[in-house]
Amino acid sequence: MCDGKKEKNITLLKKIDRDMGKKKGVKYFVVDAFTDSAFKGNPAAVCFLNDDNERDDTWLQSLAAEFNISETCFLIPITGFQARFSLRWFTPLAEVDLCGHATLASAHCLFSNGLVDSDMVEFVTRSGILTAKRVSDTSELSDGEVKGGTFLIELNFPVVTTCDVNLSDVSSSMITKALNGATIVDIKATATNNILVVLPSKESVTELQPRMDDILKCPCDGIIVTAAGSTGSSYDFYSRYFAPKFGVDEDPVCGSAHCALAHYWSIKMNKFDFLAYQASSRSGTIRIHLDKEKQRVLLRGKAVTVMEGHVLV
């Protein structure tokens, strides 16, 4: 490794470790993703690891259970690269293959704290190399300038395909029961072992009161419910996501679910750009572009840091 790259990595780690009372403490931030307001969107704990504070998988999972929010993730700088990191995601119960909001939260920490010199970072993950890019929020332009220097983060994720599902009468009745008897307009399976259920209206999504015990019995990892926006609505579609098998009864705003939702609604609406609203109690907004040729989904959103500290054990 050349001296310049090594020096940049040392500088990065010093920035991460600044003001730490204990050298081997783990620095963390809690970030609300897919929102521009604190206590909205989806919270993620972003933890920084390096050669001085390596931890085994049991410790990583235990910390995720300790935070007990939808996702805790771990960033490790990759030697020789100033803007490339290993990234792993954990729910309170398990490590997962893909997580949008914690990736956005990680990029937000790096950009907003000046920990990278680039407007793009790369994450090496269980789903391959994912990128996050800082872009201007053109919706807030005033006299040609961005108000307050705000920015969006654009994630480049793989499409999660949806397909017809051949449910038995038993499985179908289980899903209907899990959704408390809701009227089902359409139902698909996703490549990530979720069931995507289309309901008649925005109201049927927002007012749904699912039965978590019955979702646990369904033959899938989780259930995404969605409906098209009504005429005149600002949003193209609405959704919610329930994943009690991962220790998350309702994921407040799920980026990876929108990789499947983008695929489904692109086919139904014959379009590739969407403004989506996840109608959890915390709520959140995602801007989406589906690149059909490259089979990628670009997810854009904001984030807010609400907490920072050190794990001392």
Walk along the chain (313 residues) and give the pLDDT tens digit of each residue. 556 666 666 667 666 665 444 456 899 999 999 999 999 999 999 999 987 788 999 999 999 999 999 999 999 999 888 899 999 999 999 999 999 999 999 999 999 999 999 999 999 999 999 999 999 887 643 344 434 457 999 999 999 999 999 888 778 999 999 999 999 999 999 999 999 999 999 999 999 999 999 999 999 999 999 999 999 999 999 999 999 999 999 999 999 999 999 999 999 999 999 999 999 999 999 999 999 999 999 999 999 999 999 999 9
105, 46 Cβ separation under 8 angstroms: yes
Dist CA 233 CA 202 (whole Å): 10
pLDDT given for residue 142 in this prediction: 39
Backbone angles phi, psi at 15, to 5 degrees: -65, -45
* 228, 237 contact by CB (below 8 A): yes
- Domain 162-293: top CATH class: alpha beta
> For the chain, which residues make up each domain, given as ranges?
26-159+303-311, 162-293
Amino acid symbol at 6 = K
Residue 229 and residue 258 in contact, taking contact as beta carbons nearer than 8 Å: no
Burial category of 293 from C-beta neighbours within 10 Å (exposed 0-12, middle 13-18, buried 19 and up): exposed
Joined together, the tokens standing for residue 263 give 């695929």
pLDDT of residue 145: 42
User: Quick one: pLDDT at residue 225?
Assistant: 98
How deeply is 15 buried, as exposed, middle or buried, from its count of CB atoms within 10 A (0-12, 13-18, 19+)?
Answer: middle
Q: How many helices (H) and strands (E) does the chain have?
A: 7, 20
Catalytically active residues, by annotation: 71
Instruction: Say yes or no: domain 26-159+303-311 is CATH 3.10.310.10.
Output: yes
**Nearby residues of 198 by Cβ (< 8 Å), 6 or more positions away:** 184, 185, 186, 187, 188, 225, 226, 227, 264
Are 74 and 60 in contact, with CB atoms under 8 Å apart? yes
Separation between Cα atoms, residue 33 and residue 194, nearest integer Å:
22
CB within 8 Å of 307: residues ≥ 6 apart:
29, 30
Structure tokens at 108: 């937000």
How do 151-158 and 194-198 pair as beta strands?
A: unpaired
Q: How many other C-beta atoms can be found within 10 angstroms of the C-beta atom of residue 207?
A: 11
Residue 206: half-sphere exposure toward Cβ, Cα within 13 Å = 14
> What phi, psi does 202 have (nearest 5°)?
-55, -45
* Residue 269 host element (H or E): helix 255-269
- Determine the pLDDT at residue 143: 41
Q: Does the fold of domain 162-293 match that of domain 26-159+303-311?
A: yes
CA distance 206 to 278: 9
